[in-house]
Amino acid sequence: MPIGLLVAPLALLRLQESFGPHSRLDLVGLALVTPGLAGLIAGVARGGTIGWSDPSVIGFIVVGALLTAAFIVWELRTAAPMLTMHLFRNRAFSAANGAAFLMFFGLFGTIFLLAQFLQTAQGYSPLEAGLRSLPWTAMPILLSPVAGVLAERIGGQPLMAAGLAVQVVAVVWLAAVLEADVAYSALLPPFLLGGIGMSFFFAPAAVVILGAVRPEEEGQASGVTNAIRQLGTAFGVAVLATVFASYGSDRTPQEFADGIGPATWVASAALGVAFLLSLGIPRGRTDDAREEIHLPVAALGGMTPVTSEHAIVNAAQAAPRWELRSVPLAEADAFELGEWEPFGVAGERLYVRRPVGRRAAWQA
């Protein structure tokens, strides 16, 4: 809370306003997806504690699934969707988000159980348990900036794959050594490995996912990723807690160790599948929109712009008085400029702009 209060004024002063491709809100989509995802998360979270056959759990999951399915159908039909479904046709976008779901499933489900293990089986206080898990959970503070810089230079896919591979090793190591009386010194190496692997996943995953979409779609892509991560965490905690309850309990340290072992093996399997998905992500930059091109456009008077899509968007949005729009180059000759001003060409699209005060709905 204190950090948020300190940063909020800086955001108001330093961040420039930006606009998405649609000028009106998708209120129907919002009304469908909000209770839909809430129902799924609530059902999964309750299922891990009161049982999957409980009527309330079944009700939450069924209603959530139906509303989410209705949201998808609506988004495919509406003229101004809050989520453009064609994003999932991109292999990099889909594979990276699938890997993110499974990574959060395995990672945070494991961390949740480990926090209980350190207290119940090892006898630490909540503060002591939190401090002992810092080699894992706090590592991204130190290494994520480094991973972000490397991802911009060599691409996010190799770093994502490496990070997931390291996490698989860490969780398998934990599954092999977790006993009721295991020494903390035996847990420290896999904790460190898990922290390193997690650090080399977060920033590269963002680079891959946002690099797979056009700049005006980055807000949608970021929202999808955040929702998928929340779902992965909820499912991971619930499913691993169910596995834990099937093999052990929290009554004694030994029973806790009996339960956390199988749950950790399930987590390692999920991380292994996430690693395989990361291998299917195209290496390097994943979208032609980031490549510089030389294309003549009749609507620009025969000029040949040389630029990149991100440079176009950043330049257009640097001054918040402008609204940016893009149309396929194949339609550029027929496009009526009107009050729109040609601004640049990249990624096989013509970019035009006009003052923000005269906004209008459009389809990219």
The residue ranges of every structural domain in the chain are 24-83, 86-286, 288-358
133 vs 109: CA distance, rounded Å? 14
Cβ-proximal residues to 211 (8 Å cutoff; 6+ apart), any chain: 92, 156, 285, 286, 287, 290
- Report whether 353 contacts 338 (CB < 8 A): no
According to the model, what pLDDT value does residue 189 have? 95
Residue whose C-alpha is closest to residue 156's, from 226, 195, 212: 212
Burial-class residue 28 by CB neighbours within 10 Å (0-12, 13-18, 19+). Answer: middle
Which residue type occupies 119?
Answer: Q
- What is the residue-wise DSSP string for 82-139? SS-GGGGGSHHHHHHHHHHHHHHHHHHHHHHHHHHHHHHTT---HHHHHHHTHHHHSH
Cβ-proximal residues to 221 (8 Å cutoff; 6+ apart), any chain: 87, 93, 209, 210, 212, 213
User: Helix/strand/coil (H, E, C) string of 265-329?
Assistant: HHHHHHHHHHHHHHHCCCCCCCCHHHCCEECCCHHHCCCCCEECHHHHHHHHHHCCCEEEEEEEH
Tens-digit pLDDT profile for the chain (364 aa)? Answer: 788 888 888 888 877 666 655 557 789 999 999 999 889 888 887 887 788 889 999 999 999 999 999 999 998 888 778 888 888 888 899 999 999 999 999 999 999 999 999 998 898 999 999 999 999 988 988 898 899 888 888 888 999 999 999 999 999 999 999 998 899 999 999 999 999 999 999 989 988 988 888 777 788 888 889 989 988 998 899 889 889 988 988 889 899 999 999 999 999 999 999 999 999 998 754 444 333 333 333 333 333 343 445 444 444 444 445 666 777 877 777 777 777 777 677 667 777 777 655 443 333 3
- Report whether 249 contacts 259 (CB < 8 A): yes
For helices 91-120 and 218-247, angle between their N-to-C axes, nearest 10 degrees: 40
Long-range pairs, 315-321, Cβ under 8 A, ≥24 = 315/343, 315/344, 316/343, 316/351, 316/353, 317/16, 317/17, 317/18, 317/19, 318/16, 320/16, 320/17, 320/18, 320/356, 321/355, 321/356, 321/357
Residues linked to residue 324 through DSSP beta bridges, in sequence order: 353
- Report whether 273 contacts 102 (CB < 8 A): yes
Residue whose C-alpha is closest to residue 132's, from 112, 148, 118: 118
Identify the CATH number of the domain defined by range 86-286: 1.20.1250.20
Sign for the CA dihedral angle at 86, 88, 90, 96 comes to positive
Residues linked to residue 307 through DSSP beta bridges, in sequence order: 293
Sheet containing 341-346: which strands, arranged edge to edge?
Answer: 322-328, 349-355, 341-346
- Report whether 288 contacts 347 (CB < 8 A): yes
Q: Is the pTM of this model over 0.95?
A: no
According to the model, what pLDDT value does residue 322 have? 61
Per the structure block, which two tokens stand in for 45?
Answer: 């979270």
Cβ-proximal residues to 153 (8 Å cutoff; 6+ apart), any chain: none
According to the model, what pLDDT value does residue 347 have? 62
According to the model, what pLDDT value does residue 16 have? 67
Residue 72: C-alpha distances to residues 77, 97, 187, 278 (Å): 9, 17, 43, 25
- What is the residue-wise DSSP string for 21-77? S-SS--HHHHHHHHHHHHHHHHHHHHHHHH-TT-HHHHHHHHHHHHHHHHHHHHHHH
